[in-house]
Amino acid sequence: MRTTLDLPKDLLDEAMRATHIKTKTQVIITALEELIRKSKISELKKFKGTVDLDIDLNTIRGRKCRF
């Protein structure tokens, strides 16, 4: 999709240097992908400690109790 953006040149140049990406398009695509990835991770962190999995790791791993 083609679009016109008015981006600060110094910000775009810094992003290209920091990521070693040579094209402006790829820098913007990478930035959007990272933004989405971080947003999804943030959403997943809300579930930390709230999911109760009734899993016995010893059974799954095939370990037998010696007692």
Does residue 18 have a pLDDT over 80? yes
Tokens of 63: 């370990």
pLDDT at 53 over 80: no
SS3 67: coil
* pLDDT in the model for residue 29: 97
Amino acid at 1: M
Could you give the CA distance from residue 58 to residue 47 in angstroms, rounded to a whole number? Answer: 24
- Quick check: 19 and 27 in contact, CB under 8 A? yes
Q: What are the residue boundaries of the structural domains of the chain, listed by start?
A: 9-60
- pTM of the model as a whole: 0.68
Non-local (6+) Cβ contacts of 19 within 8 A are: 27, 30
CA atoms within 13 A on the CB side of 64: 1
